[in-house]
Amino acid sequence: MAELVALPTGGTAGKTLTVATAADAFLGSLCNPNTVRNYGIGIGKTVERLGEAKPLASVTDEEIGEALELLWGSAAVNTWNARRASVSSWLAWCRERGYDAPIVPAWTKRLAVPDSETPVRSRMEIDRLIARREVGLREKTLYRMLYETAGRAEEILGVNVENLDFVGRRCRVKAKGARAKTRRRGQAREDVVLETVYWDAGTARLLPRLLKGRARGPVFLTHRRPGPGKVVSARDVCPHTGFARLSYGQARALLDAHTALGGPGTGWDLHEMRHSALTHLGEGGASLLMLMAKSRHKKTENVRRYFHPSPEAIAELTSLLGPGDRFR
């Protein structure tokens, strides 16, 4: 986390406050390390572009817009929106504290997020992948669990054995952007609000075979102990075997190796399991509210991006508009 830097006080402080000092103070005021890291990218590069020693009060709205455009004007929509939002939050924070600060100009507007281009795999493709002999039990369980829970890969890989509810076929996960719990007086706590994901018979059959009686530690493990020079948290090491938790990068490489047809890097992505699951549920008639409950999205537009019905599903739906049997 960035070190907290106190802003100068006084009625004329805004005239002498430098861009770098204002940025350090804002980043130092943030409590979440992930937010500090993400915001720091956009704000840090903007500060370099403007000039660290430049007085914040002398920066114009147009200069902010030009910096954003030059730095991320050709970037992906999500990247543009994220960097724009970080700079906007920083400048708004300065103004709220009485300092002269520019605003992000209207012409550098937030862009609409396009529909996801993540492919949707059919049920048959997923079943065939999991049934292949060369796919190990660990990967079979992971792929099936990702599909049946429609969970994010980072969430499922972060699950520990003690988190599993075998009877209820569910477990609690640390969700993306999980909010830290707060005490009554507002003091931050280290633990976060957890969310529940649910699986079905396929995962229920595979999990006991994978765990082999293990009662604690990560569900998905590597096949070796961490090297002597690698520092690993105790939570990420199995107390029974000493093996480390399987990382996202390792799991992604395994899936790519199992599915790549055009060489390394051309295979499936772990996120495709989530996309595919939500699309299949939608094709099966699940309502928007149920899809939101399953995916744990808070905004309907985010769920819509995940739903990509197949041409066959659209054709079947269209058949409902045809004339009845009495006209055929």
Residues annotated as catalytic are: 152, 181, 271, 274, 297, 306
Strand 164-165's sheet: what is its strand order? Answer: 164-165, 170-174, 194-198
In 111-200, where does DSSP find H-type helix? 123-131, 137-149, 153-157
d(CA 249, CA 39): 23
Query: If you write DSSP's letter for every residue of 247-286 in order, what string do you get?
Result: PHHHHHHHHHHHH-SSSTT-S--THHHHHHHHHHHHHTT-
**DSSP-derived 3-state class of residue 11:** coil
Task: Give the helix/strand (H/E) hosting 14.
Answer: helix 13-16
Amino acid at 230: K
Residues contacting 154, CB < 8 A, separation 6+: 176, 248
